[in-house]
Structure 1
Amino acid sequence: MHARLSTETLPDLPPSVVRPSYDRAAVKTGIVHLGIGAFHRAHQAVYTDAALGAGDTRWGILGASLRSSDTRDALSPQDGLYTVSVRDGAGERVQVVGSVGKVLVAPEDPEALLQALVRPETHIVSLTVTEKGYCHDPASGELDESHPDVRHDLAHPDKPRSALGFIAEALNRRRLAGATPFTLLSCDNLPANGATLHRIITRFASRRDVDLGRFVADTVHCPSSMVDRIVPATTEADRASVAAAIGLQDSWPIVTEPFSQWVVEDDFGAGRPAWDEAGATFVRDVAPFELMKLRLLNGSHSTLAYLGYLAGHETVAEAMAAPGYTSLIRRMMDEEITTEVPPLAGFDLDGYKASLIARFQNPALRHRTWQIAMDGSQKLPQRLLGTIRGRIVRGAPFERLALGVAAWLRYVTGVDDKGAPIDVRDPLAADLKRRTAGMIEAGALVESVIGVESVFGRDLPREPIFRSTVERALSLLLAEGAAATVARLARQ
């Protein structure tokens, strides 16, 4: 049995393993991160680790889990240290990351997290809470004031449950103390995530107190950002292979790909780490990069996830190796998505699309289709439906995009192509199950599910071309299955 990764055992790492080059004891906490899951630890925490290594030790990370204690339980005995294994067909590069210090579990002690947020040294509060963590209506981008967590946090502001509740209470305490507000940095896949977060938190704060709402609206900086790295869920096989590579036990290592991109609006109210020296790109307007990534990468990823899962493919790479899938995705990018991506001067869009295909095909990443398929009701509006709206305005076809939507409709019926049950994880799972129960005909399924306004808005259900195109794709999926439908479309 290996000894456990920790500050004490760092010197025991093999020379080939990259490890923190700075004195972790000298690092101050300047960032509180809400939602400290695998993606943050593979992405923003790695950039921050590099910035700390460059000499600015003001920017250590205090992580906070808003639901589960799993990350805290894994990392606390390791002094916050963890391993990042970067893999592709050429091999593996292993790094131990030290930018994360303490990890709190919000439900266990909400006051401890609030005190961390209120500390004057906390200059940035970053978030990876997934789309559903914003307690908003994905179709409109507005606060969902009927959300149970919103209602609870407005009634009990000193004992919040949601990210919004913690942020608003901390900002109120800082306001009353005359302290500078922290910058809010969303790193989630939301359109205009900074502006969306600013709108939502301003509305939430205004519901609490008019003066607090005005304070948030006028003083809180919310830069937008675009994040990009594929991070599969860690498996027991990953833990075993990492232990062999580092000679120590790591309870929660991260496996990821070589590619990493971070584009950030340079709008920080109280300073920031030198993430640009670590590879991040700071720009005035993130929107073109954001739309490019949401529509090309995320839209393709979701389409692959549903079509792949239905056909029995456990991972994205397996789906891409099956007949027709690579051709379908590349043609969807070229013929249906590219026209809906804003031009970026000097950016090699064809090269980017080719890199996406290669990343999806990476055999070293076992990115499960089921993992990507989660929370589809929150993801579809920005990943597929916005692109479809653009195609409708142009009067242009969107057969492959519609197939992605139809695959989601087929997926949420809860049964795959072989008749096996699907564990549908979605905030609207109960409503979707009710809407699809006993339905086996495409027209009825489309009619029932596109009435979910928080997903499809009010406009798409009224578009005959949207209904008919999705219904046609769903009819094929129901009659022939995902594998045969993908092969058919790939030949057209």
Structure 2
Amino acid sequence: MEKILKLNQKNLAEIANRIPCPTYNRSSIKTGIVHVGIGGFHRAHEALYTDQLLHDESITDWGICGVALLNFDTKIYHTLKEQDGLYTLIVKELDGSHTTRVIGAIVECLYAPENPIKVIEKMASPEVKIISLTITEGGYNYNEATKAFDFGNPLIQHDLEHADAPKTIFGYLTQALKLRKTRGLKGCTIQSCDNIQGNGHMTKNMLLSYVKRAEPELKDWIEAHVSFPNAMVDRITPATSASDIDYLTETTGIDDAWPVVCEPFKQWVIEDDFIAGRPIWETVGAQFVKDVVPYEKMKLSLLNAGHSVLGILGALLGYETIDEAVGNPNISAFLNHYMDVEVTPILGDLEGVNLNNYKQSLLERFGNINIKDQIDRICSETSAKFPIFILPTVNAQLEKKGSVKLAAFVTAAWAVYSLGKDESGKELTIKDAMKAALNEKANAAIDYPEAFLEIDSVFGKLKDAKVFVNAYTSAYQNIVNNGVETCVKDINTNVLNNH
């Protein structure tokens, strides 16, 4: 066995004899991008595209400063700090092989709770042209019921009172942009890389809502000097497991405390709206387009919603990974029907996209037995995901008086899931900011199923849609009486008979 090498800059030349590593001079790279949220997805996606770009040695001004925003990001911050921003990307191919390389695009790391002013100063730095975000769907502080920014959030109230020590992205961005304005600097691009339709619009609307209250005189400057491109991002990136870390050490002799694992597929479709310049990511596979919306809608309502469908139904059946759920022919047939009957009719024309091929590719990607994407990861924060991935499909179908039965079934299954046990009575690991409220309404739903739909911040006005409520109530009773598998079989048979 080769000697174990700790992943860091000092050992990089030696590590390069074992697996591909950055060949560019990292010490000469300037930071042009501040990225907030340095979890697995960013490191498998934007940071990889940027790393590929930096191998063109004429490009030296697009290094990434990774910001760990939240208190629980301490571990990833310390890991990357100790490894000089370096980490290993392990791509799990469909044939079971692994492609491994070291990524070097993150050239600086900051931990926001430790030094908020340093992060604000970095975001305001003249060399920074882009501030990009992976802060999860819930990070945008949007309330589905009011369709507005949630000023009731205690963290937002904290930021309004403590401008120099913010806790949310809105507090940081506001203070950084204020510094740019008062110093007479240029604006920048704020780029969301989260799974939200119109993620650029959402970012702009939520930020301006906050700014109007926190720093009203800044609003016009932001409108004139900051751009917010929409983008569609795609790559399945499961949580890194201890066995992934062990595999890396055993096969390469490299000690990386937090490598990233992902599937081979990746996609990034971006609106070309960068007010202060941008990397030429299109040379390494990104697509720049005039209108991202159709691509986003397709991906969120098919891939992301599909993940949630498999996760919720799979969890109730006792599965632990997504490939196990999609390996159940009844569940995969149900997902197919959901995509064909309820989602496809609301997508409209997608130029250059073969939808049937796309849907088929999703089932193959979900079924990649090497990825082992944990169901509890996919089901985490469903309260933030449901309004974005599933509700738009339901609302569009209600408007055209189309089918909502399959989405209603998934919603009923989520209500049962929120009781906290699978069908065999085993405890479920539920990770959701609204866990207590979901559980309370799920318990009330035992006697009165509609109670679950009363969570306005998740379901909006869905409880007023009689057609949906009837389909949901019927599905709820069916699941309770017969179990998910029997219900899904019956639904599949009915769909086939009706089409």
TM range (shorter): over 0.9
| Counterpart for residue 172 of structure 1 | 178
| Counterpart for residue 159 of structure 1 | 165
Q: Which moved more, 1:263-272 or 1:333-342?
A: 333-342
- Is the contact made by 1:80 and 1:103 (CA closer than 8 Å) also made in structure 2? yes
Within the alignment, does 1:450 sit opposite 2:453 as a pair?
yes
| Counterpart for residue 350 of structure 1 | 356
- Is the contact made by 1:311 and 1:417 (CA closer than 8 Å) also made in structure 2? yes
1:293 counterpart (299, 303, 314):
299
Within the alignment, does 1:383 sit opposite 2:428 as a pair?
no
Query: How far has the Cα of 1:434 moved from its partner?
Result: 2.4
Alignment of 1:393-412 (within 5 A): 393-412=399-418
Query: How far has the Cα of 1:15 moved from its partner?
Result: 4.9
| Counterpart for residue 50 of structure 1 | 52
Q: How big is each residue's C-alpha offset from its partner over 1:394-416, in whole Å with a ceiling of 9 and x where there is no partner? A: 22222222222222211112222
- Is the contact made by 2:144 and 2:456 (CA closer than 8 Å) also made in structure 1? no
Matches of 1:486 and 1:7 in 2, distance apart?
Answer: 53
Give the alignment's TM-score, normalised by structure 1.
Answer: 0.96
2:315 counterpart (309, 314, 325):
309
| Counterpart for residue 86 of structure 1 | 91
Within the alignment, does 1:462 sit opposite 2:464 as a pair?
yes
| Counterpart for residue 233 of structure 1 | 239
- Is the contact made by 1:28 and 1:60 (CA closer than 8 Å) also made in structure 2? yes
Matches of 1:292 and 1:59 in 2, distance apart?
Answer: 30
Within the alignment, does 1:222 sit opposite 2:225 as a pair?
no
Matches of 2:146 and 2:301 in 1, distance apart?
Answer: 18
| Counterpart for residue 30 of structure 1 | 32
| Counterpart for residue 253 of structure 2 | 247
- Is the contact made by 2:136 and 2:194 (CA closer than 8 Å) also made in structure 1? yes
Query: How far has the Cα of 1:119 moved from its partner?
Result: 0.9
Q: How big is each residue's C-alpha offset from its partner over 1:23-81, in whole Å with a ceiling of 9 and x where there is no partner? A: 11111001111111110000010011111112311010111111121111111121111
Q: How big is each residue's C-alpha offset from its partner over 1:360-416, in whole Å with a ceiling of 9 and x where there is no partner? A: 000110101110101111111121111011111222222222222222211112222
SS in 2 for 1:450: helix
Matches of 1:141 and 1:233 in 2, distance apart?
Answer: 31
Query: How far has the Cα of 1:245 moved from its partner?
Result: 3.1
Matches of 2:490 and 2:258 in 1, distance apart?
Answer: 42
- Is the contact made by 1:139 and 1:381 (CA closer than 8 Å) also made in structure 2? no
- Is the contact made by 2:327 and 2:367 (CA closer than 8 Å) also made in structure 1? yes
Matches of 2:26 and 2:302 in 1, distance apart?
Answer: 39
- Is the contact made by 2:233 and 2:268 (CA closer than 8 Å) also made in structure 1? yes
SS in 2 for 1:84: strand
Matches of 1:342 and 1:290 in 2, distance apart?
Answer: 12
Q: Which moved more, 1:125-134 or 1:398-407?
A: 398-407
Matches of 1:149 and 1:282 in 2, distance apart?
Answer: 35
The 3 A distance-change label for structure 1 pair 438 and 337 is closer
- Is the contact made by 2:89 and 2:103 (CA closer than 8 Å) also made in structure 1? yes
For 2:325, give the aligned amino acid.
A
Q: Which moved more, 1:476-485 or 1:201-210?
A: 476-485
| Counterpart for residue 497 of structure 2 | none
2:477 counterpart (466, 475, 487):
475
Query: How far has the Cα of 1:228 moved from its partner?
Result: 0.4
| Counterpart for residue 430 of structure 2 | 424
Q: How big is each residue's C-alpha offset from its partner over 1:120-157, in whole Å with a ceiling of 9 and x where there is no partner? A: 11110000000111122145552111111111111111
| Counterpart for residue 197 of structure 2 | 191
- Is the contact made by 1:292 and 1:342 (CA closer than 8 Å) also made in structure 2? no
Query: How far has the Cα of 1:227 moved from its partner?
Result: 0.3
Matches of 1:138 and 1:153 in 2, distance apart?
Answer: 22
| Counterpart for residue 133 of structure 1 | 139
Within the alignment, does 1:111 sit opposite 2:114 as a pair?
no
The 3 A distance-change label for structure 1 pair 54 and 194 is same
Gaps of at least 5 residues in structure 1 are none
For 1:455, give the aligned amino acid.
V
Query: How far has the Cα of 1:438 moved from its partner?
Result: 5.9
SS in 2 for 1:330: helix
Give the alignment's TM-score, normalised by structure 2.
Answer: 0.95
Alignment of 1:326-365 (within 5 A): 326-365=332-371
Matches of 1:452 and 1:144 in 2, distance apart?
Answer: 15
Matches of 1:99 and 1:139 in 2, distance apart?
Answer: 40
For 1:79, give the aligned amino acid.
D
Within the alignment, does 1:61 sit opposite 2:48 as a pair?
no
Q: Which moved more, 1:9-18 or 1:114-123?
A: 9-18
| Counterpart for residue 144 of structure 1 | 150
Q: How big is each residue's C-alpha offset from its partner over 1:135-189, in whole Å with a ceiling of 9 and x where there is no partner? A: 2214555211111111111111111000111001111111111111221000111
For 1:131, give the aligned amino acid.
E
1:122 counterpart (128, 132, 135):
128
Matches of 2:110 and 2:253 in 1, distance apart?
Answer: 28
Matches of 2:145 and 2:42 in 1, distance apart?
Answer: 25
- Is the contact made by 1:308 and 1:482 (CA closer than 8 Å) also made in structure 2? no
- Is the contact made by 2:93 and 2:99 (CA closer than 8 Å) also made in structure 1? no
The 3 A distance-change label for structure 1 pair 40 and 140 is farther
For 1:351, give the aligned amino acid.
N
The 3 A distance-change label for structure 1 pair 491 and 13 is farther
Q: How big is each residue's C-alpha offset from its partner over 1:272-326, in whole Å with a ceiling of 9 and x where there is no partner? A: 1111111000011110000000001011110110000111110000111123111
| Counterpart for residue 7 of structure 2 | 5
Matches of 1:14 and 1:58 in 2, distance apart?
Answer: 24
- Is the contact made by 1:323 and 1:487 (CA closer than 8 Å) also made in structure 2? no
Query: How far has the Cα of 1:477 moved from its partner?
Result: 1.7
Gaps of at least 5 residues in structure 2 are 495-499
SS in 2 for 1:146: coil
Matches of 1:390 and 1:205 in 2, distance apart?
Answer: 32
- Is the contact made by 2:308 and 2:378 (CA closer than 8 Å) also made in structure 1? yes
| Counterpart for residue 219 of structure 2 | 213
Matches of 1:141 and 1:253 in 2, distance apart?
Answer: 38
- Is the contact made by 2:189 and 2:226 (CA closer than 8 Å) also made in structure 1? yes
- Is the contact made by 1:14 and 1:247 (CA closer than 8 Å) also made in structure 2? no
Matches of 2:44 and 2:147 in 1, distance apart?
Answer: 27
Q: How big is each residue's C-alpha offset from its partner over 1:416-454, in whole Å with a ceiling of 9 and x where there is no partner? A: 21222223222222222222336524xx13x21211111
| Counterpart for residue 487 of structure 1 | 489
Matches of 2:266 and 2:155 in 1, distance apart?
Answer: 33
| Counterpart for residue 17 of structure 1 | 19
